[in-house]
Amino acid sequence: MTEEELGQYAEKFQKSGFTGPLNYYRAMDTNWRLTAPWHGAKITVPAKFIGGEKDVGVESFGVKRYIESGGFKSNVPDLEVSIIEGHHFLQQEQAERVNSEILSFLDKLSGEEAHN
């Protein structure tokens, strides 16, 4: 992330604060309770996961092991995973690559739909 980009984020957060992003973490226990009925359910629609190879979210909490061991794929059988160069803000860091990954995934789905 460039200094200019960091400055843009800092400017936005100075105006609006950091409450919105923090609320995700504040609501985590509630989210677990609300989604409990689906614990163990498989996601059966095609899905794409794009992660950054240096993203702390991929590197922490056993996420990388979950992906590499096949755990993620067992819960999301029609999953396509792409780990690309970058950190947590891939859509800013690697905008063209992320767009390419998404469009490629959607193209595959369009092709599958045409054949079904």
**pTM (predicted TM-score):** 0.78
Residues 109 and 69 in one domain: yes
Residues 34 and 57 in one domain: no
Residues 50 and 69 in one domain: yes
Residues 20 and 50 in one domain: no
Range of the domain at 13: 1-40
Beta carbons of 86 and 93 less than 8 angstroms apart: yes
Q: Give dist(CA 34, CA 2) in Å, integer.
A: 38
Of the candidates 111, 96, 112, 102, the residue with the CA atom closest to the CA atom of residue 82: 102
Q: Give dist(CA 68, CA 109) in Å, integer.
A: 24
Look at the chain and report how many structural domains it folds into.
2
Reported as a single tens digit per residue, the pLDDT across 19-34 is 888 998 899 999 999 9
The whole-chain average pLDDT of the chain stands at: 91
Reported as a single tens digit per residue, the pLDDT across 31-86 is 999 999 999 999 999 999 999 999 998 998 899 999 999 999 999 999 999 999 99
